[in-house]
Structure 1
Amino acid sequence: MDEEADLALLDQHLLKTNLLSQRMTGILGQLDTRLSRLDKAIAPLGIQPLTRKANNIDAILQVLSPSHPPASASTRPIPSSRTTSSSSHATLKGYSLDLPASTLTPIVSAPGTATGTPADETAILTRGPDIMALTEYFSALDSVISDLERMWKGYTEGRGGARETGVRDLSKLVEIGFSGMTDLFLKISREGMGRTFDPDQLLESGAPTPPNFFVPLNTLLPLTSHITDILNPRKSTPKTSSIIEPIMENATSAFAEMRGEWIKRSLSGMMTRVEEVDEGGIWEGDRGREKVKGLIGLCEVVIVVAEVSMAETLLITTLFPQDPPPTLLQQTLLAPIGLVTSVLQPTLNTIKRRLSSHVFVALDLYQSLIRTSQNWETSLTKCLSMTHSSSSPELLNIFSGPISTLRGLCLRSFPELLVDIRSAPTTGPPTSAISDITYSTLTYLETLPAYEKIVEGLLGSAHAERSWLMGAKDLPSPVKSASDEGGIVNLYVADVLGTVVLYLEQRAKSMRKLVGQAFLLNNLSHMRNTTSSFTSDLIGPGAEDMLNRSFRDAKAGYLSEFSSLVSLLNPSTPSSRFNVPGTSSERSTLKEAAVTFFDKLDQMESLTSQNPLSRQDVDLRDRVGREAGDIVGRGWDGFWKRCEGKGLEKYLKGTPDDIQKRVTAMFR
């Protein structure tokens, strides 16, 4: 025990040490990021003045010595955060990228803009954007885009020269510049999604505001605003659009995947609670109710996803107010929806394997998914409309498959219940105890009213009124139609009870008569008492009359055994010749009748003791005991009078009152 305690203590210390190490690693990572940002912010301060001076010197030298043009700015290495190279053969002033000379060649460019020369813009774009200094980057990219569109226009109009090379180089520069903006957008987004949200709190308070749902929103707004302006310019930019649209599609997919995984992580705790209900079992006993509760939690998860989609929609429309990416919302929701369906499918598989044990799990899940599906479609349609997205059948109909599967399982459960009752074993040790079939059927009927509406819809959708009989000609109950019984569910219940009665009668026939009659009487009495206590109107008049009639018949059959006992006291007495009574013969007959009567009475006492009427049904025992005592008491009284004066006192083991009390005591 001491070693185990020491090991547990060491494990705790190790866990604390790991947590501290992780925190320290995170702090150092943040420090490294900040140092990197500082380095990027400081670098242009030294680069830009030197670049301008170099360009000015080149311009002066060219004016002074026109016959000996100096090396252009494009031949000088441009400092940047990336690896730079020079184009040694270039003599014209223009843009230069940090690429091998064989890939890009210098081009003739428009005069330098007010914010900087082409070399400045190349350096700014190849260095990458800084969230703290975006204006300069935006100006450089806009200038390059303007030059590209001007050169592209001339190229398409047939003016050749260096324009083909210039279009290629400027296109690469636009690609680098726009990719830098999307990379920065994804980087800041990823860093701002470390902490997940609480699904329970989201259910209570509804969709949060975009800044609360996405922390780096305000930081990213200037960046996303300019991205939108580039994607939707006032003047047409066909060449730029062909370059940046694939980049934006990839960035949209990456952002959607990132957001989807974040939502998935947030929902994982609620999903775990649903999965833990099983505990590796198959919902035995009360675990079924807990599983149903967990499955209701599953539907709540879907509602959370719907609320999240509304919050996500608000975020998307805030980030991209003019023209939201049309597929961003659908792509974002794929991961959390996949998580929901992955938990739902094993539940469906378990229901399929043991449908008879999980009927109400299937009904509960079926009606919950129908309700949730309607809420989901309403919410998602609204979100798609807000983001100007086209309808997405894949997302709108995510529950169609599970709902269809559950509907088929529920419809299959109704005839299978009758088959299970009919096919239950009718052999076994004789007993008067209430059958398991009786208990399970009454439990089923007691639970059914909670799902009456959904069951009514399922049964009413069938082509035939008694579809659960699967074409059988012999009706299990005398009820003729649903209208006579009060509804389609009442008719189904009447047939279920009729099937149970037929099963009980068949099983009673396989036992000794008194035991079988006690078995039948106990079960029918329990059925009558239980169904009469139902708070719903599930039992129609036809089913009630059927149970009462079957109970009366079972009671009469049970009491007939005591009538048979009394019949032993009335043997036929032979007459002597010349109509003179044979005294000795009559005495012998009465003696044999008394002996047979008490042998049979002892046997019935033993059987009744071993297979009694239900001790929980005190009223049944009292009524049957009184009636049986009266039957035997009256019969014994007549026999007692016939035996008077015949010397049979030693064979008469009690007075009529004694015998009646003896029979009545059998039921106490």
Structure 2
Amino acid sequence: MDDETAEIELLQQNLQKTRQLSKRMTSILDTFDTRIARLEKSILPLYTAAQILNKRRNNIDQTLLKIDDVASNQSDLSNEEGLILRGPQPGQLTVYKDALERLNANIAFKGEDKDVDKIANLVETGAKKLTQLYTKVVAEGSSGTTPAPGTSDAIMLTSFPASLLPSLSPVVKFLRTLPLPSTHPSHPAAQAILKTLMEAQRGYADMRGSWAVKCLDGQGKRLVVRANEVDPLVTGREFGEWVELILGTAEEEYKLLQELSPLSSPGSMSAAFSVLLVPVLRLFNTILSSLITLTKKNLQKFSFLALSAYEVLLSLQYHWEEILSCASEQLRDKNEFKDGLPALRSLCLRSFPEFLVDLKLGATSRGQADTSTKIMDFVVETVTYISKIPEVQGAVSAALTALGDGNWKMGEGIQVGVNNRIGDGDEDAILKHFIYDVVATAITSLTTISRTARRPAYGSIFLLNNVSYLRAFLLDDPRSNSIPKLLSSSAKDLLNSNYRTAKAGYFDANFSPLMQAMTDDPKDRSGKSAAKEKFTRFFDLFDEVIERHRIGRVMEDDDDGRRAVGDEVIMLVVPSLQRFIQKQKERDFSKNPQKYIKRTPEDIESQIRNVFS
């Protein structure tokens, strides 16, 4: 038992010593960790600096190797010179590009070496050879046969052939990397290369501008040639399509210029675009001047050509300004597109008073036969004129607003300038004022002609026919639903009241004598002889009326209106005749009534219906 106790005590003593040793070891290890951390913190900046130095040493070594490689490669320039002088061969653009890059690298590392000038000349020659290839491809893409004017293919944009872009785009991309004064001020060939690229870019603009004119010229000339053969509004619409084609072409050409120009700086782009636009603008000015000259020769005929062209230019002005903003300031100042607007506007302003003058002159037209009841030319022109206004209403309203409310009367009771203060939204009111004056002037001329007719009965038919024609095609059965909207309430009242007046005058001149023939004379006591005379006079007058209506047809262009007038005539004449016959028979005016009553009321009605059928 004592032995076991002794062993336990010995073990406890050993365990205590082990713990003390472990504690000392842990303390020593903690001290080592602290010292290692301090050492690492001290060594880290030195390690980082060493890494940077090693990287720089590697870069220097690689640069020295490149210099040695360039020096060895340029020891003999004969091979490079032969390659450059031959120019870029088909499929070997990359080889040519690498040769020029090596030459440029030699210039960069040679400094003041005596071979620098020779290498610079080779670089300049290489740039010229590349621009020659560039110009050749551009010329190929800017030539060919244009579609015939008037065909569906003629209205298209003059785009660059897509098949040539793969061969041209790499050339353009490399030309833009060549040394220029702005990027390589110390390069000996930079100035010469810039001049070469400027010439190539100008050549590009010349060729593309000429090609655009070639594509647009035929369509433009066709407008002028056909202007005498087609409706002026059709010519105006075709002119608008042609102008839109010009703008579309200019827009596409600018996008193409951005993609294919050797120099991409804003200044060089705007200069080249200006060169491209000059022939296009010259063509536009030529065609517009031809149309203006044609319109001036016969403004009455071509007034709607001027109005239509004016409306087109007004609507496209903002688009054109956007395109011109890409050109040089000098070209923007000389704007053929904007200059054409005043010329067209002056023609439009002239057309309104001149049209009214032509309507007034219609009252003095000669050659009207005494029995003529036809529709006057100026009446047809009035309906046609007003019917065309909705198609160019914007231009008409703008021009009338510029002219001033009422000034189209040329000072007749109007103080010029008094009503010129027009607010926004008054354009429609001014247009309605003008159309009212057109209708009023036409009716005034018709009334003058009818009153100066030697045979009033025919004059009344003439007035009814013409006024009803105006009323029918402007109010009752217009050629367009937009026409009645252009007529003010005053204009509508004017048409209706004059139609009623004309119809009343027609009845008075043609049928009042018939009605008077059947009127009893209070001074005649017997009445029998007078009745016989009245029957004779009535049928004589009726025969005259029937013959008159065979010569001068009533409302020949309006079947419904003519039948309606015939019904009114029957309601006026036949019942009165029936009452008159009945009254005279009751008076026993004759032993042989059939001798004087040549036709029954039914026969009279049938004859009237035949006349107005």
Cα distance in 1 for residues equivalent to 2:464 and 2:338: 48
Aligned-residue identity in percent: 23
**1:238-637 correspondence runs (5 A):** 243=192, 245-265=194-214, 267-268=215-216, 271-276=217-222, 280-284=225-229, 286-288=230-232, 290-316=234-260, 319-321=262-264, 325-326=268-269, 327-381=271-325, 383=326, 390-394=328-332, 397-424=335-362, 426-427=365-366, 428-429=368-369, 430-462=371-403, 464-473=404-413, 487-511=429-453, 512-532=455-475, 533-534=477-478, 535-536=481-482, 537-561=485-509, 562-570=511-519, 587-633=528-574, 635-637=576-578
Cα distance in 1 for residues equivalent to 2:140 and 2:531: 100
- How far residue 412 of structure 1 moved from its aligned partner, in angstroms, is 1.8
The amino acid across from 2:183 in the alignment is P
The 8 Å contact of residues 182 and 251 in structure 1, kept in 2 or not, is answered as no
- How far residue 529 of structure 1 moved from its aligned partner, in angstroms, is 2.3
User: What SS does structure 2 have at the residue aligned with 1:491?
Assistant: helix
Q: 1:179 to 1:258 in 2, by over 3 A?
A: farther
RMSD over equivalenced CA pairs, Å? 4.2
- How far residue 122 of structure 1 moved from its aligned partner, in angstroms, is 11
- How far residue 201 of structure 1 moved from its aligned partner, in angstroms, is 9.4
The 8 Å contact of residues 121 and 141 in structure 1, kept in 2 or not, is answered as no
Match of 1:218 in 2: 169
- How far residue 417 of structure 1 moved from its aligned partner, in angstroms, is 1.6
User: What SS does structure 2 have at the residue aligned with 1:231?
Assistant: coil
- How far residue 526 of structure 1 moved from its aligned partner, in angstroms, is 2.4
Cα distance in 2 for residues equivalent to 1:292 and 1:503: 31
The amino acid across from 1:233 in the alignment is T
- How far residue 185 of structure 1 moved from its aligned partner, in angstroms, is 0.9
- How far residue 471 of structure 1 moved from its aligned partner, in angstroms, is 1.0
Aligned residues: 511
Cα distance in 1 for residues equivalent to 2:273 and 2:448: 62
Q: TM-score, normalised by structure 1?
A: 0.65
Match of 1:186 in 2: 132
The 8 Å contact of residues 198 and 263 in structure 2, kept in 1 or not, is answered as no
Cα distance in 1 for residues equivalent to 2:309 and 2:72: 67
The 8 Å contact of residues 180 and 191 in structure 2, kept in 1 or not, is answered as no
The 8 Å contact of residues 563 and 631 in structure 1, kept in 2 or not, is answered as no
Match of 2:85 in 1: 127
- How far residue 316 of structure 1 moved from its aligned partner, in angstroms, is 4.4
- How far residue 607 of structure 1 moved from its aligned partner, in angstroms, is 0.7
Cα distance in 2 for residues equivalent to 1:136 and 1:509: 98
- Unaligned residue ranges in structure 2 (runs of 5+): 1-69, 416-420
The 8 Å contact of residues 486 and 540 in structure 1, kept in 2 or not, is answered as no
Q: TM-score, normalised by structure 2?
A: 0.71
User: What SS does structure 1 have at the residue aligned with 2:268?
Assistant: coil
Cα distance in 2 for residues equivalent to 1:180 and 1:344: 46
Q: 1:129 to 1:618 in 2, by over 3 A?
A: closer
Match of 1:81 in 2: none
Q: Cα deviation per residue 1:269-315 (whole Å; 9 max; x = unaligned)?
A: xx43454456x45443x554543443233023123223323422431
- How far residue 556 of structure 1 moved from its aligned partner, in angstroms, is 0.5
- How far residue 591 of structure 1 moved from its aligned partner, in angstroms, is 3.9
- How far residue 129 of structure 1 moved from its aligned partner, in angstroms, is 4.3
- Unaligned residue ranges in structure 1 (runs of 5+): 1-111, 152-165, 385-389, 476-480, 576-580
The equivalent position to 1:230 in structure 2, one of 168, 177, 180, is 180
Cα distance in 1 for residues equivalent to 2:466 and 2:204: 65
- How far residue 528 of structure 1 moved from its aligned partner, in angstroms, is 1.9
Pair member with larger Rg: 2
Cα distance in 1 for residues equivalent to 2:241 and 2:320: 15
* Structure whose residues are more often helix by fraction: 2
Q: Tell me whether 651-660 or 620-629 shows the greater mean CA deviation.
A: 651-660
The 8 Å contact of residues 625 and 665 in structure 1, kept in 2 or not, is answered as no
- How far residue 173 of structure 1 moved from its aligned partner, in angstroms, is 9.0
- How far residue 552 of structure 1 moved from its aligned partner, in angstroms, is 0.6
User: What SS does structure 2 have at the residue aligned with 1:543?
Assistant: helix
Q: Cα deviation per residue 1:152-180 (whole Å; 9 max; x = unaligned)?
A: xxxxxxxxxxxxxx9xx998996785365
1:652 equivalenced with 2:597 (yes/no): yes
Match of 1:24 in 2: none
The 8 Å contact of residues 124 and 137 in structure 1, kept in 2 or not, is answered as no
- How far residue 325 of structure 1 moved from its aligned partner, in angstroms, is 2.3
Q: 1:589 to 1:573 in 2, by over 3 A?
A: farther
